Structure 1
């Protein structure tokens, strides 16, 4: 029997978007948006979508565990399961919640599957753009059903385009990144939606993205998909990213060559 995992989870993401997230877009009441931490909002769409996705993912893989962004907000101890032996789902029900709450795009729904502590599959859906990326580690990435190779047509260093989330960077690193950006084609401020940043690498809209904060549900799906398409996702010191690692700083690029060139430009001495 054919393995339908990729399509099953993709269909589940579309269901959550169609039934929960999109009906609430630009229709939230004041009581539908609350602050779960200083400066960090959550909406009823986040909570309802996580409930729908969690139930559906457990049906797809009976006996699996779900570690969702909103679940962790209530019980941070759930993060200990990211290196469990079995199947563990990482869920970001609405990535880009601040955009969503403000009635702006982009936002995305994201899922990653870890098996035995190893990321094995990932999904990102931008429902407004009708863009779905999904793939398996070492088996490739599909973008709306078509295989993606992010290593093709690498621009020259002076033409590279990408984003850097500089807000939370240490001041010295922030200054170095901003200065180094002048060596590249374009350094963008970011879209407040990690999922869209990863999709833009897969579509070729940009070749890299730099983050400081690396919460696992924000990065596990996209890091896997970019790697499966031929790219890299590494800490600033060159160590491969893993969602269970409690670290800061992440540079994601469409290829080894791009990672090295951007790292030298933005983070080199």
Structure 2
């Protein structure tokens, strides 16, 4: 089924998403909330993926970003058991709408609350990263492994997505973050940030708002490549969690270094 889902994602990207890139009219872009855009490509991609994925796995259900925007209770399907597809029809919509890259199509399969497989397609680069629980992660058929060494904090580069960070977290990040080698606010596309950890473009990424379609595929890819993805207090991230704060890193030692460097006063603990 991995290959069938891969083929479906590529087909939808090539026939639905890419033809709209830099060709959107004003009436094909709308705001779901201030600064949060949706385009006709998001809507059509989600419909096509929903139809194709449920056909591949009869009895499965879909939790898509746009379906949840229309009805927030759809998200509850993730914890209801059985096979659930999580779909981000265009990850990086604001980039896509502005005619910029990166943007991706992302899918994950969750079985009984645990991530079984994840797919991230960089649409313009046509690079597909896939992971299956217990079987590793691959980019276009080549096995991926994260770096295994333990650099000092000053030698680490990564992302701290500041947009949703509350003041009590920002205060610690701003006070201690200069001890890290460098940090950016990211490329506004989670589907870019996770594979970038695996390929050592960066060594870590930290987020506050954790919507499942943004993070379930990438966290599995990082873990299956040898990396770590946990909440800021060290608790494991799972698709059913509503807790805020997530740190992904290339390995255990790097995760510990980033976490203890940023949160010298202790990590923030946020309940579900």
Gaps of 5+ in 2: 266-272
Partner of 1:155: 151
Q: Could you tell me which residue of structure 2 aligns to residue 134 of structure 1?
A: 130
SS in 1 for 2:5: helix
4+ aligned runs moved over 6 Å, structure 1: none
2:168 to 142, 166, 172: 172
Distance 1:188 1:39 in 2: 20
CA contact (8 A) 1:143 1:202 kept: no
Give the corresponding residue for 2:32: 36
| In structure 1, C-alpha distance between the alignment counterparts of 2:234 and 2:252, rounded to whole Å | 11
User: Counterpart of 1:112 in 2: which secondary structure?
Assistant: strand
Q: Residues 1-269 of structure 1 correspond to what in structure 2 (within 5 A)?
A: 5-269=1-265
For structure 1, which runs of at least 5 residues remain unmatched after alignment?
none
CA RMSD of aligned residues (A): 1.1
Are the counterparts in 1 of residues 113 and 238 from structure 2 also a CA contact under 8 Å? no
Aligned with 2:102: secondary structure?
coil
What are the Cα deviations for residues 116-175 of structure 1, in whole angstroms up to 9, with x where unaligned? 111110000001122211011121100121111113355332111100011221123113
1:32-53, CA deviations, whole angstroms, 9 ceiling, x for partnerless residues?
Answer: 0011122211000000000111
Contact 1:35 1:41 in 2 (8 A): yes
Count of residues in correspondence between the two structures: 265
| TM-score, normalisation: structure 1 | 0.95
